[in-house]
């Protein structure tokens, strides 16, 4: 099969293409209609069909591969390895599902999952899917403020949390952060279900609300919970992503379309078949963790490895040791992780038998050519960049070795995945640009299966955020891109105020609001600045309410405020206290000019600048150095 043939059929005959792809999963009731696009930009895939993510990920494999490893949880933090076959996973998921039902969780109810990257977190997700509950996993690195925002938007009946996580050997208590979030939340859940890992000592438990999972696990150890068959377009989960406002957007995913897209991607993109092994180093709180740590590999009947810990602990060979032990075929990581490994002794890459490893996929942030070139040479394996978003749920741009391995072009994630009708659009005119010309990457609707169906509880925001940027109805990726003569696309960075820190999308507005909440701050601007390891880091420029204030102390307090409110992932790299911020005469902050100055680039057209002295003030601040650095 040729890539061009597969892709062309997906574009020219989409209903026939996706009807065939849908046969890769189990349906309780077959789809009655493949595509309903009567209400653009909303679309429905596999209308009338009923299915279930948990059934497709677990139950349907029991007969042929019940004793095959399904999940491996390897924790360098606790020094433990947990292995579950499909049969054992089925038992654990049934037990967890019964526990959730005993707490009143029913079809359509929301369950927030706030846990580290462990097998128990995957079990909680699958248990929700089994009973038709809508899970919303919140990254364990987020602080209570972020958690409270997501609780109030999702309005869960139950919150599942661990007692603690661990990072670099340091225990991070989760339960106190949950308690603080619930004290802030306007719509706290009825119950908190606590999975006690034994890391945090005695836990603060509120009688009547907080329930420890251990006793419930014993009580429901033999429970058999039937699968809840859901119509293809019912919601499966909510995953929050940063927007340009302070309020995060709840990306809503469906059931059937998501399962079909993942099933297709597992063999065509990642070249994984039943019985093979995939190792994704992403956290379960991100979209990669949902799609390719949990649902994708299990739907394919493959083994998935979940890793908790740093890529350099106990040594820089830990990932490769895992690959050797389990015979990993396809690995998925991030450019940031590779840049961390690049600083280590390269001999670690040669100490283990990696003969069964075929591919290393990298995503989450743009892959720079030096990093791509280094890991390709050091590993001696095919390294494939792929581009996608929380919103799309699976790759938009990639190469497809399971179909036909096309040449790798360093700096490009490759070619469009099936079903994605991609265009590069001039931001001002809305017209397509030619090869080699910069524009905004856009998708011609209807979006293919697997992509978001709406923003949770807010159809208007869905339309405005993604389809309101051009006169023509197009999905805007909000990423700059260039396409070459061969159809390869190169991603150049964001068009909005969202920055990418080590694969974590952070809204600069949210960080600005946190900084501005400090009583000494008059005004703040946050930008993303290039970083050799993390890709980008947040940098703060702020003015104080009192000109005679202690700049260094105020800057340090701003950093602490952000860490306390948003978590360490959002902690600014540097804070500069200035007397004025550059603005247009209409009062708009010139963030792009600030970013250019911080990266030693031309700040561009300054004809609309209100006060030229403000820009000189920023230049002087950059020359003297930051008032605080993280």
C-alpha of 31 from chain center: 29
Region 506-521: mean pLDDT is: 80
Q: At residue 607, does pLDDT exceed 60?
A: no
- Listed range (128-132, 188-192, 204-208) with the worst mean pLDDT: 204-208
Q: For 310-338, what is the mean pLDDT?
A: 94
pLDDT at 241: 87
In angstroms, the CA 247 to CA 532 distance is 29
Report the share of the chain in percent with pLDDT over 70: 96
Q: What percent of the chain has pLDDT over 90?
A: 70
Map residue 502 onto helix, strand or coil.
Answer: coil
Least confident interval from 307-316, 461-470, 492-501: 492-501
Instruction: Determine the Cα–Cα distance for residues 83 and 418; give it in Å rounded to an integer.
Output: 34
Least-confidence region, from 5-9, 51-55, 204-208, 499-503: 499-503
Residue extents of the structural domains in the chain: 3-309+386-443, 498-629
Three-state secondary structure call for residue 221:
coil
498-629, which class in CATH? alpha beta
pLDDT of residue 460: 97
More confident residue, 56 or 580: 56
Specify the pLDDT at position 155: 98
Round to whole Å and give the CA distance between 164 and 174: 5
333: three-class secondary structure by DSSP: strand
| CB-based contact 151:181 (threshold 8 Å) | yes
Contact by Cβ (8 Å): 289, 282: yes
pLDDT (mean) for 560-564? 89
The predicted structure's pLDDT at residue 246: 61
Q: How far is CA 30 from CA 171, 229, 243, 451, 595, in A?
A: 48, 12, 37, 21, 52
Instruction: Check residue 565 and give its pLDDT.
Output: 84
| pLDDT for residue 584 is more than 70 | no
Cβ atoms of 501 and 569 within 8 Å: the answer is yes
How much is the pLDDT for 608?
53
Q: What is the pLDDT of residue 564?
A: 86
CA-CA-CA-CA dihedral for 290, 291, 297, 303, to nearest 10: -40
pLDDT of residue 87: 98
How far apart (Å, rounded) are the C-alpha atoms in residues 379 and 360? 9
Tens of pLDDT, residues 121-176 = 999 999 999 999 999 999 887 889 889 999 999 999 999 999 999 988 899 999 99
Which residue from 508, 514, 287 is spatially nearest to 394, judged by alpha carbons?
Answer: 287
Query: What's the rounded mean pLDDT across residues 252-260?
Result: 98
Query: Which pLDDT score, from 0 to 100, does residue 461 have?
Result: 95
Q: Mind listing the pLDDT tens digit for each residue in 43-100?
A: 999 999 999 999 999 999 999 999 999 999 999 999 999 999 999 999 999 999 999 9
- In this predicted structure, what is the pLDDT of residue 588? 60
Record the tokens describing residue 503, joined without a space: 């694969």
* Separation between Cα atoms, residue 541 and residue 508, nearest integer Å: 12
pTM beyond 0.75, yes or no: yes
Task: Say yes or no to pLDDT of 551 above 60.
Answer: yes
Q: Give residue 585's pLDDT band: very low, low, confident or very high (50, 70, 90).
A: low
DSSP character for 163? Answer: S
Strands of 143-229 (E only): list them: 158-162, 164-167, 170-173, 191-195, 210-212
Place of tokens 């302070």: 246
CA dihedral 244, 591, 526, 611 (to 10 degrees): -130
Question: pLDDT confidence of 404, banded at 50, 70, 90?
Answer: very high
Which residues are CB-neighbours of 190 under 8 A, at least 6 positions away?
103, 104, 157, 158, 209
| The residue to which tokens 């989960």 are assigned | 237
Mean pLDDT of the chain: 92
Element (H, E) at 280: strand 277-280
Question: Residue 400 pLDDT > 70, yes or no?
Answer: yes
Q: CATH fold of 3-309+386-443, please? A: Rossmann fold (3.40.50)
Structure tokens at 606: 């300054």
493 within 8 A of 551, measured Cβ to Cβ: no
């Amino acid at each position: 099969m040729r890539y061009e043939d597969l892709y062309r059929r997906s574009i020219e005959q989409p209903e026939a293409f996706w009807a065939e792809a849908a046969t890769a999963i189990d349906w309780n009731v077959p789809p009655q209609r493949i595509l309903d696009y009567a209400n653009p930009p909303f679309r429905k895939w596999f209308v009338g069909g009923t299915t279930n993510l948990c059934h497709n990920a677990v139950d349907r494999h029991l007969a042929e591969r019940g004793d095959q490893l399904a999940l491996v949880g390897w924790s360098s933090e606790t020094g433990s390895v947990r292995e579950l076959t499909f049969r054992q996973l089925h038992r654990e998921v049934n037990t967890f599902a019964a526990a959730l039902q005993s707490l009143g969780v029913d079809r359509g109810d929301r369950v927030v999952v706030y846990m580290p990257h462990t097998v128990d977190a995957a079990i909680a997700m699958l248990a929700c899917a089994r009973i038709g509950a809508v899970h919303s996993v919140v990254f364990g690195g987020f602080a209570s403020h972020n958690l409270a925002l997501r609780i109030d938007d999702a309005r869960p009946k139950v919150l599942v949390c661990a007692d603690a996580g661990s990072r670099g050997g340091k225990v991070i208590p989760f339960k106190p952060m949950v308690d603080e979030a619930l004290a802030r939340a306007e719509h706290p859940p009825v119950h908190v279900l606590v999975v006690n890992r034994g890391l945090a000592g005695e836990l603060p438990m509120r009688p009547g609300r907080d329930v420890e999972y251990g006793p419930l696990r014993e009580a429901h150890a033999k429970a058999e919970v039937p699968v809840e068959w859901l119509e293809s377009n019912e919601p499966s989960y909510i995953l929050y992503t940063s927007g340009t406002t302070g309020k995060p957007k709840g990306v809503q995913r469906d059931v059937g379309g998501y399962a079909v897209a993942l099933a297709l991607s597992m063999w065509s993109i990642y070249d994984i078949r039943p019985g093979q092994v995939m190792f994704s180093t992403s956290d379960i709180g991100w979209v990669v963790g949902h799609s390719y740590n949990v649902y994708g590999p299990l739907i394919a009947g493959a083994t998935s490895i979940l890793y908790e810990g740093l890529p350099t602990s106990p040594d820089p060979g830990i990932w490769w040791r895992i690959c050797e032990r389990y015979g990993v075929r396809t690995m998925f990581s991030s450019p940031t992780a590779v840049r961390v490994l690049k600083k280590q002794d390269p001999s670690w890459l040669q100490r283990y038998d990696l003969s069964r490893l075929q591919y290393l996929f990298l995503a989450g942030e743009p892959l720079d050519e030096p990093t791509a070139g280094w890991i390709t040479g050091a590993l001696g394996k095919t390294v494939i960049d792929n581009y996608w978003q929380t919103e799309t749920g699976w790759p938009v741009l990639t190469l497809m070795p399971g179909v036909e391995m096309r040449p790798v072009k360093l700096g490009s994630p490759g070619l469009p995945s099936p079903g994605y009708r991609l265009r590069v659009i001039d931001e001002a005119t809305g017209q397509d640009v030619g090869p080699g010309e910069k524009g905004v990457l856009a998708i011609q609707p209807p979006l293919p299966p697997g992509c978001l169906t709406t923003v949770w509880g807010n159809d208007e925001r869905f339309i405005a955020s993604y389809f309101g940027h051009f006169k023509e109805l197009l999905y805007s990726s909000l990423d700059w891109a260039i396409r070459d003569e061969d159809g390869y696309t190169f991603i150049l960075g964001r068009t909005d105020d969202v920055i990418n820190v080590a694969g974590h999308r952070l809204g600069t507005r949210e960080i600005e609001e946190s900084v501005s909440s400090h009583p000494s701050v008059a005004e703040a601007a946050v930008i993303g600045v290039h970083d050799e390891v993390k890709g980008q880091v947040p940098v703060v420029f702020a003015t104080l309410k009192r000109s005679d204030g202690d700049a260094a102390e105020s800057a340090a307090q701003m950093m602490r405020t952000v860490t306390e409110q948003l978590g360490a992932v959002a902690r600014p790299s540097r804070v500069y206290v200035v007397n004025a911020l550059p603005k247009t005469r209409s009062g708009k902050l010139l963030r792009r000019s600030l970013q250019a100055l911080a990266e030693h680039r031309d700040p561009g057209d300054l004809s609309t600048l209100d006060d030229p002295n403000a820009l000189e003030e920023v230049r002087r601040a950059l020359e003297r150095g930051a008032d605080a650095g993280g």
